[in-house]
Amino acid sequence: MSDAPSPAADSTDSNAADAERKRVITASLTLGGAVGITALSFGLAAVSAGANVWQACALSFFTFTGASQFSAMSVVGAGGSVGAAFGGAALLAVRNFVYGLALAGRLTNDERGRKLPLLHRLVAAQFVIDETTAMSTAQPQLRLARTAFWVTALSLFVTWNLGTLIGALAGSFLDTQALGFDAAFPAAFAAMLPPHLRTRRGRLAAVTGAIVVVALTPFMPIGIPILVAVVGVLFGVRP
Amino acid sequence: MSMSSGQLWLLVIVLSVTAYALKVLGFVIVGSRTPPPLVERCLALIPASLLAALVAKDTFTSAQDFVVDARAAGLVVALIAVWRRAPFIVVVVAAMAATALVRRFA
């Protein structure tokens, strides 16, 4: 920054900042729309697994982390226990803890570095998920990071819950078996996988997880092989 | 399905509390700190292991049996769609359609 920016340069700067801000908001809203479609399939899948409309909606509202919700319903659909359904879903939710660490410095303080009120931080925490982390950490500027986080959070929260409701309502009127809704689960998990397969370790962990499940399913209660499959993380031990 | 509505509500509540607690633990309580590299590397691999495990379970098992049925056709179509970078909804609908068609005609 020069000492005395000319008015023209100043307005160009603020125009550029406005354009950048608009770009971030548009990207965040677009992501919200795309996630709404995913929510439709969650609603359908949850109902086909045996949940009712309210239970599907409560999961999307309160749990609000897609992979865990799909995982829990997948084990329920297979006839697993509450503990087994919970275990796999909770393990998948651990990544939101890691995201929280990455986001904390950028989003828990105000512009002058003072801690935001506790209530603000507790509300923001509910929205610490894959998409908000990706959108927010992609912004080098603190203000834009905050805009990206909140616009993504709110648009996602609306579309995720609305999509779940519509999907669950539709699912409760349809013959879910004949229409192949059970196939929505593996397809959804396969669609979530690619970002985790970029490293060699990730691919080894994935192959291990799949082999463990197929090998152990006949010998363990339903859903438990999913928990054992987490041994794939041991590929992270060696640097 | 074998789980009662009461058990499902229990699952919804316990999972929601746990998911929120994990978010608060990282974002509010521990705050901006980096975990030891070993822990970080292992935690980063949880989704790869579990998502692949869930794909295998939902395609090739039924209760405690290993099975290859119409869902395998759905998975093949889903993997092609993922490989071609199709949007999420295309992956899911294509897999559902393939499974339904094989069930109907095979």
Query: Could you report the per-residue pLDDT of B18-41, keeping only the tens digit for each?
Result: 999 999 999 999 987 788 899 989
Q: Which of A135, A150, A179 is the last residue of a domain?
A: A179
For B3, which DSSP code?
A: S
Q: Do both A153 and A77 map to the same domain?
A: yes
User: Residue A179's closest CA among B102, B21, B11?
Assistant: B102
Quickly state the pLDDT bin for A1 (edges 50, 70, 90): very low
Q: Do both A115 and A215 map to the same domain?
A: no
Is B51 in contact with A55 (Cβ distance < 8 A)? no
Minimum distance, in Å, between the CA of residue B106 and any CA atom of chain A? 13
Q: Which of A147, A179, A211 is the last residue of a domain?
A: A179
**CB distance A77 to B34 below 8 Å:** no
Is B1 in contact with A103 (Cβ distance < 8 A)? no
Q: Do both A153 and A212 map to the same domain?
A: no
Q: Do both A77 and A109 map to the same domain?
A: yes
Average pLDDT, chain A: 90
Q: Do both A97 and A212 map to the same domain?
A: no
Q: Do both A141 and A166 map to the same domain?
A: yes
Q: Do both A198 and A172 map to the same domain?
A: no
Is there a domain that residue A141 lies in?
A: yes
pLDDT given at position A11: 61
Model confidence at A8: pLDDT above 70: no
Model confidence at A13: pLDDT above 80: no
Model confidence at A4: pLDDT above 50: no
Average pLDDT, chain B: 92
Is B48 in contact with A77 (Cβ distance < 8 A)? no
Minimum distance, in Å, between the CA of residue B36 and any CA atom of chain A? 11
Is A34 in contact with B87 (Cβ distance < 8 A)? yes
| Chain B residue with Cα closest to A198 | B48
Q: Among the listed ranges A77-81, A109-113, B13-17, B55-59, which one has the minimum average pLDDT value?
A: A109-113
Q: Do both A92 and A161 map to the same domain?
A: yes
Asked if the C-beta of A37 comes within 8 angstroms of chain B's C-beta atoms, the answer is yes
Across A177-206, average pLDDT: 91
Model confidence at A230: pLDDT above 90: yes
Q: Do both A53 and A81 map to the same domain?
A: yes
- CB proximity under 8 Å: B 19-48 to A: 19-20, 22-28, 30-35, 37-38, 40-48
Across A29-34, average pLDDT: 84
Asked if the C-beta of A123 comes within 8 angstroms of chain B's C-beta atoms, the answer is no
Q: Do both A124 and A66 map to the same domain?
A: yes
Within chain B, residue ranges assigned H as helices are 5-24, 37-44, 46-60, 70-83, 88-105
Quickly state the pLDDT bin for A2 (edges 50, 70, 90): very low
Of all residues in chain A, the percent with pLDDT exceeding 90 is 65
Q: ipTM above 0.85?
A: yes
Of all residues in chain B, the percent with pLDDT exceeding 90 is 77
Quickly state the pLDDT bin for B56 (edges 50, 70, 90): very high
- The total number of residues shown for chain A amounts to 239
Asked if the C-beta of A86 comes within 8 angstroms of chain B's C-beta atoms, the answer is yes
Q: Do both A22 and A71 map to the same domain?
A: yes
Asked if the C-beta of B54 comes within 8 angstroms of chain A's C-beta atoms, the answer is yes
pLDDT given at position A112: 80
Contacts of residue A189, defined as CB under 8 A and 6 or more positions apart, other chains included, come to: A67, A70, A74, B51, B52, B54, B55, B58
Q: Do both A112 and A40 map to the same domain?
A: yes
Is there a domain that residue A184 lies in?
A: no
The whole domain housing A119 covers: 18-179
Is there a domain that residue A69 lies in?
A: yes
Q: Give me the number of domains chain A comprises.
A: 2
